[in-house]
Structure 1
Amino acid sequence: MLDIGAFLLEQTRTNPQVQFIYELESQRVVFVNAAYEWVIGGQANHVNEELPALLQRLHPEDRPYLAECWGRWVQGQLHEEVEFRLQIAGKPDQWLQLTPSYQPAATGPGWIGGVVRDISVAKHYRSHADRFNARKNTILEILSVDLADTLVLSQSLRWDAEDDVTGYIRTRLVEGLSRIENRSQQGARLVQEFTTEEIQTSATIALNLERVELGERLRRTLEDYPRAEALAAHTLDLRLPAYPVYVRIDVNKFLQIITHLLSNALKFTPDGGHLIIELVAVQGVMAHLTVSDNGIGIPLELQPRLFERFTPARRPGLRNEPTLGVGLSLCKMLVELHQGTLTVRSCEGEGSTFLVTLPLLPTP
């Protein structure tokens, strides 16, 4: 007869992921498998002696978050997986993921345990994938705006040619500029349709939430924007706090929101305009992210229906950029899936400010 308990215990001992049990009353690790030695780099038979030094290796920015998780864990209220960093002298931080468990006792404190796996490689890969995905979205939005600029320029040249040039040269020039206009219009619309379809698809897929320092992600995402031709006549000011701002987001989906809001600001801000993206933490509870411009603003009568799907408030951009009227409604939906809010404040002729709020995670 198979001894299931002995079989499971042997599986636990040989598992390549760290498995442990910690007794809350004695405040000691009463079981840890051999994986502790090659995942964490300690000695399993000295785990309790090594525990204080191990806790000191926790990344300083992760400690308040982990303290909050610990408070729920010992009450049996921590159910989600927890990701955190261990510092290693002279090496990149090690990313670990904890799957927690809790076993109550009949009297007194019970036991906590779990599985710890090294996710450094996966985290590194995901970071690069998210970065290049965000860069792709940024470049597409840049391309859309640049195509619109090309369209405006070609239209202007065609009108001049029709007025000032005669004969065969005029005919060929007008024909060529007309083709440029058509290709620019088609290209801008294709980009707009693609980016809208992507964010629309994102809204139907479950969130892949992770704890993220939002300021750093914004800085990396916006690195490509100064290269945009459309920004040559604008200024873009990124204002980040000196302190870290941690939130739980689906990085790819959330950066789609920001890219779309910034693209909208570009569409409705004339040359010489000023765009501002600002991040702050408010009362230690909420992260506030604003995307502001000093463009043409939104007429008051259009604002109540701005976030409707296929909104009647949709307008072509100043350079005749196309709009499908669904982008802002999808942005609002995605923000709300993150337990946040998206609102707008605008005055016609003075500009617009879109405010994204998100729950703030504990920070130092």
Structure 2
Amino acid sequence: MNSVPLMSAPSTSRYTILDRPNFKFGALMGRWESLLVLLLIAVFAINGALLPHFLDLDNLADGTFNFSEKALIALPMALLIICREIDISVAGILALSSVAMGLANTAGWPPESLLFVGVGTGVVCGALNGVLVTHFALPSIVVTIGTVSVFRGLASVVLGDQAFTGYPQLMADWGQGYFFGSLPREFTVLLVFAALFGFMLHATSWGRRIYAIGNNPVAARFSGISVDRYRFMLFVLTGAMAGLAAFLLTGRIGSTRPNIAMGWELEVITMVILGGVSISGGVGTIGGVMLAVLTLGAVTFGLSLANIPGIYMTISVGVLLLVTIALPRLLRGRKVAK
């Protein structure tokens, strides 16, 4: 009997626009990243035409400081959402990590140790989230809504109405410094981690298991994948990256205050969802997330050059998040109705 060749399953990291393979406009445009590229070009063209200093290379380099720390957290957040989980507590972890570094600095710890203090605090916070989600089978959104209040509350209790200042020059060098006089160190760190996360997700068996868990966690468990272990690791990784972001942000602004990184969780999640990561899990790419990061960064940088108040930036980010989540569902509803 002649064997019938089996067709290989489509890669989970390749998908059409709006994650709707049969949607005609999506088939025309190709991938979601294609739309993001066009959107990024449009943002640069409009801002460049309206704002005379927008396309200045030095200004663009300085503009990366506004999103690099958030983007570092968005990378592991993308993996979590692909796995059908979420971490709302990242801004609280960042605040508590910054406070821990402030305490260590006040106690006279060596400057080189502060990075490990920040990342270590993030790991502990992420591990707490991971244990509550995996061991006690609690919904991650409920757990992290609770823990963000705990982490932010602890930071506020320690600080009161005071602030930690007087951080060592080493932190300022990484938070404010440049390589070769023009390439921001923070942005360089972001590019290195984006390449690392992209390789792990798209070129390793570890990444394929992440997609498998997101597509069907029950089937993944029966196929021998330790689903809870992977989820726990991702929560720890997210906490660690929040701790790294705390080190860079604290070095950039030179102080730790109770409201540090307030509201960042919304912007981080917006970066991930706009980047094409499905809120239902199982779909998304690091490349898409980075394109969304650059697009949002260009939008907010343009608004700041135009002296638009920060509250309008917050409103625009919230509207963009709602549109990004709702549009694919609305288009799918139209297709079903036809």
With normalisation by structure 1, the TM-score equals 0.23
Higher helix share: 2
Which of the pair is proportionally richer in strand? 1
Return the TM-score normalized by structure 2: 0.25
Larger gyration radius, structure 1 or structure 2? 1
